[in-house]
Structure 1
Amino acid sequence: MLRFAPSPTGDMHIGNLRVALFNHILSKQLKEDLIIRIEDTDKERNIEGKDKEILEMLSLFNIEYKIAHYQSDNLKYHQKMAMQLLMQKKAFACFCSDERLEMQRENAKDSGKPYRYDSFCEKLTDDEVINNESGFTIRIKKPEHNIKCTDELRGEFDYNPFDVDSFIIMRKDKTPTYNFACAVDDMLYDISLVIRGEDHLSNTPKQKHIRESLGYTKEIKYLHLPIILNAQTGKKMSKRDNASSVKWLIEEGFLPIAIANYLVLLGSKTPKEIFTIEEAIEWFDIKNISTNAPKFDIDKLRFINKEHLKIIDEMRLSKILGFADEDIGKLAKIYLEEASTIKEIKTKLDAIFGTKHTSEDYVSEVEHIKKCAQNAPFFDSYDDFKNYISTQCGLKGKSLFMPLRFCLTGAWHGPNLSDIYPYIKNYLGEIIK
């Protein structure tokens, strides 16, 4: 069983989508189910509606999964297992105030040392614990031996007890912390492989320590993907980078198939550059992913998007653009010489079908051509239509072609009118108005 575990705390990030795509691909290759776990235990950071938005986004990218569940629904299991650790003396109640812990952190910072809990409450007697009426967190005792972990990309890691520390597993409000909830849920759902970002690498020994303390012996494999960098700044993509939001990319007119193509291609060795996820399932090898952080290049995504627009079915493209006419799909592809996204193509079509406001150039010619065209019979051939307008309006050369182009396309420059006309001839009454 594999799992994708997003948090409903903001827009889906391209890094998260990349993790979801790899989970989808691997689940198909391994013939194992994929589940979605909405990690909603941090109530203060949750944003209403983001959980549904995440599931809609997964559907948009055709990421298949068996079930979607909310981590908060497993609260009773989290609490039960935390109590088990307390009863077995593998965890302890911590009554330390936030002020005391913050002072310890500041002292560690001032001395140039990493902060670690000083085990003060671990030394409390049973009577001291029972008679203390203050609220408390629950900390798991740090391991007595090194925790060894294997990453499928990076190999072996060896963490000593100091690295793992006695960390909090249950908050004062009796809700689980991230690492405890993840470790327990991975046990409950019999997860065999965890694919996630490398920013979670330090969480792996903590989660393994939790499972070992609970007596869980099944080995879970891990694969941590490198973070994605901004190609311009060389820094980690953040929420301030518009392109980091999958929602923004969709709104900008990038096709889901192209975004998925690029994110799988990013930092990977693939036999071809343009492909579908269905094709990738046949040949993709997760171990061909580089451990170096890849750089997100929006221009490269534009290129890939354009390539997918070139091969997309014309009727489907037409429907994406708000029509249901194969000719509109063919017209859209003509504009791929100067456009690379759905949004840019829509701008071209809006100029064709929208109200055309003339400039100071060719004002009289434009008005004359409009009247002639509105009274013209239907012409299947562009040359016949052009010759009719030329004869009726008495216009030739630049005085004909420039205003005619504007009347038909709403622009003074662009593709050849002879290429455009076959796909707009049935709409002339709507276009020239």
Structure 2
Amino acid sequence: MLRFAPSPTGDMHIGNLRVAIFNYIVAKQKQERFLVRIEDTDIERNIDGKDKEILEILKKFDIEYDELLYQSKNITFHQNFAYKLLQDKKAFACFCTKEELEKEREKAKKTKIAYRYSGKCEEITIEEASKKAEPFVVRIKKPQKRIEFNDILKGKMAFEPNEVDSFVILRADERPTYNFACSIDDMLHDVSLIIRGEDHLSNTPKQIHIRELLGYTKDIDYCHLPIILNEEGKKMSKRDKASSVKWLLEEGFLPQAIANYLILLGNKTPKEIFTMQEAIDWFDLKNLSKNSAKFDLDKLRFINRAHIKILDDKILAKLLGYDDENIGKLAKIYIEEASTLKELKPKIEKIFSKKEIPSEYEKEVEVLKKLIKDYSNIKKFDEFKKMLMQESGLKGKKFFKPLRLLLTGQEHGPEISLLYPILRKFINEVVR
């Protein structure tokens, strides 16, 4: 099984979406089940409704999952495994206060040594702990040997015991910490490959250590993806609007274009424009760059235009708020000057709205209004134009500017000859 494990603590980051896409693709390639696990055990940071938002985004991207799990549903398993480690003396009760630990951290900071737990409570037995009335956390005992694993992208990785340390696995209120809950759930659901961001690299030896102490012997493969950088070459954060999938969708980028770009980013692909279903045939984690790639919004715009061009006309019309496929055809004519749905929509709306005519063209517009309706049965634009010029006596700027304003509501835009074959079908709605 493969899994995507988001936390409902904010907008979905494009890095998380890329992880979801890659896990989905590889699950399809391997014909394994795909689990979505909402990691909701960090109660203080959870935001109401973000879990639903995550699932809605996955649906928009056609990422189908075989199973949905809220991590909090497994809390009894987490607690039981923590107490098993306590019972087996592979973990211990820690009564150190926040103040004591903070002092130790400050001391380490002053000496410029990485903070590690002192081991003060390591010898307290479970019997001694049960007699105390004070609350305690459960810490796992640090490993006795180096922890090694192979990463599909990074190769052989090794972590010394001190790098793993005696970390907390169960809080004083009996809620599991991230690494403990994560490692137990991966074990319970028989996860075979973990694809996630390289910011989780330091968590991997901790999770391996937990499962080893519990006697879990199955090897799990890992692939830690390089982080996505902003245009300044820094890690994309919440301050970067484009880091939010929700923002990109609201800006009018198509899900299929965003997916295309995220698969393309830092990757060797057989072609530049493709669908996620096509990528299933050739995607290979080993073709990904080991280095971080910059997120280029202009490149995403280019890819979005390409996907709008190949989108079914009726679907495009519906996305813009119309039912007629001809509106989709019309929108595609504007694609060179508008690269998103958000940019296309006002251009189409102006065509069907009451036109604001500058005073300098009011007279010409009045002359053309009736003529346009009378001769819109003429299919060829050149013939239509010739008849209007002949009947109105207008020519040059005095003809073309008012005509464009009447048909599009805008002074500039695509050639009227391209727009006319479609606009004539809606002439009573356009010219009024």
TM-score interval, normalised by the smaller of the two chains: over 0.9
Q: Deviations over 1:229-274 (max 9, x none)?
A: 002x110111111111111111111111111111001001111111
Q: Work out whether 1:308 is the aligned partner of 2:321.
A: no
Q: Deviations over 1:167-214 (max 9, x none)?
A: 000111111000000000001100000000000000000000000111
The 1-side partners of 2:21 and 2:44 are apart by 28
The within-5 A match list for 1:17-416 is 17-125=17-125, 128-231=128-231, 233-373=232-372, 378-416=377-415
The 2-side partners of 1:289 and 1:28 are apart by 18
Q: CA deviation at 1:280?
A: 0.9
In structure 2, relative to structure 1, the CA distance for the partners of 1:179 and 1:349 (3 Å cut) is same
In structure 2, relative to structure 1, the CA distance for the partners of 1:127 and 1:210 (3 Å cut) is closer
Secondary structure class of the residue paired with 1:223: strand
The 2-side partners of 1:358 and 1:89 are apart by 83
Secondary structure class of the residue paired with 1:59: helix
Residue identity matched to 2:187: M
Moved more, 307-316 or 209-218: 307-316
The 1-side partners of 2:110 and 2:390 are apart by 88
Residue identity matched to 1:137: V
Q: CA deviation at 1:428?
A: 1.4
Q: CA deviation at 1:387?
A: 3.9
The 1-side partners of 2:207 and 2:125 are apart by 27
The 1-side partners of 2:159 and 2:376 are apart by 82
The 2-side partners of 1:321 and 1:126 are apart by 64
Residue identity matched to 1:103: K
Q: CA deviation at 1:59?
A: 1.1
The 2-side partners of 1:367 and 1:78 are apart by 77
Residue identity matched to 1:270: T
Q: CA RMSD in A?
A: 1.6
In structure 2, relative to structure 1, the CA distance for the partners of 1:185 and 1:377 (3 Å cut) is closer
Q: Report percent identity of matched pairs.
A: 60
The 1-side partners of 2:245 and 2:366 are apart by 44
Tell me, yes or no, if the aligned pair for 2:192 and 2:220 is still in contact at 8 Å.
yes
Secondary structure class of the residue paired with 1:149: strand
Tell me, yes or no, if the aligned pair for 2:334 and 2:344 is still in contact at 8 Å.
yes
Q: CA deviation at 1:432?
A: 1.5
Moved more, 90-99 or 392-401: 392-401
Q: CA deviation at 1:90?
A: 0.6
Q: CA deviation at 1:372?
A: 4.3
Moved more, 375-384 or 234-243: 375-384
Q: CA deviation at 1:388?
A: 4.3
The 1-side partners of 2:85 and 2:333 are apart by 66
Secondary structure class of the residue paired with 1:37: strand
Q: CA deviation at 1:377?
A: 6.3
Moved more, 52-61 or 313-322: 313-322
Secondary structure class of the residue paired with 1:322: coil
Stretches of structure 2 that go unaligned for 5 or more consecutive residues are none
Q: Deviations over 1:38-94 (max 9, x none)?
A: 000001111111111111111111112101110000000000000100100111111
Secondary structure class of the residue paired with 1:122: coil
Q: Deviations over 1:347-403 (max 9, x none)?
A: 211121123222343233234333544566643333444344434443222101101
The 2-side partners of 1:343 and 1:299 are apart by 15
The 1-side partners of 2:421 and 2:125 are apart by 88
The 1-side partners of 2:132 and 2:302 are apart by 64
Match in the other structure for 1:420: 419
The 2-side partners of 1:207 and 1:18 are apart by 22
The 1-side partners of 2:407 and 2:166 are apart by 72
Residue identity matched to 2:294: K
Moved more, 130-139 or 109-118: 130-139
The 2-side partners of 1:25 and 1:261 are apart by 12
Q: CA deviation at 1:127?
A: 5.9
